[in-house]
Amino acid sequence: RRGSAATDRWPVQLAALARAQGLPLARPRLVARTGWTTAELQKAIRKAKNLKTYGLVSLLIGVNNQYRGQTVALYRTEFRALLATAIGLAGGQAGHVVVLSIPDWGQAPFAEAEDRDHTQIAAEIDQFNLAAHEECQHADVAFLDITPSTRAAAGEASQFTADGLHYTGPQMHRWAAQALPVVQHLLR
């Protein structure tokens, strides 16, 4: 994420927490980049070299679909395809995939500075998250709702990097800690 050290990224923190609990998770292979939509991630996965089967695959994607004004219907279609790709990368095991909900960037200092309507952003984020949650239920994939923790960060400048938009390591640590019990359950 922009403004955060690579070790602060939530998948890296999750793997470290899991290893500390005795789960054999290697350092994550991160394909996604900050600022991408579902289509951009799918394209990058297709182009990625040396992808293999992984014991755990995670997705946290969609905030830029919403930010760029894309429709929920388009997001759902592209997310469904990404979910199928993630399951494939997990060796066909839906139980080895975890999806995190989309953070609510409307609570970030950036949104306030840009005079964005945080109520509208929240409503749209909820629609995108509902679509992702429904697709996860249909595919029997774990869905973890981190959005409330991002909304709770409103007004806490320490939870955001200098750009006022992206989250710091401590906020992403909350997501990793929230994901840990789910991952422990999935991998045992």
18: domain CATH number?
Answer: 3.40.50.1110
R_g over Cα of the chain: 16
Instruction: Express the helix, strand and coil content of the chain in percent, nearest 5 each.
Output: 55, 5, 35
CA distance 32 to 12: 13
pLDDT-based confidence at residue 1 (cuts at 50, 70, 90): very low
Residue 122 within any structural domain of the chain: yes
pLDDT in the model for residue 115: 67
Residue 1 within any structural domain of the chain: no
Q: Which has the minimum average pLDDT: 2-6, 16-20, 112-116, 164-168? A: 2-6
- Tell me the residue range of the domain where 31 lies: 6-187
Residue 100 within any structural domain of the chain: yes
Overall domain count for the chain: 1
List of E strands, the chain: 57-59, 97-100, 142-144
Q: Are 53 and 14 in contact (CB under 8 A)?
A: no
Tokens of 41: 């991630």
pLDDT in tens, 113-168: 676 788 898 899 999 999 999 999 999 999 999 999 878 777 677 777 777 666 77
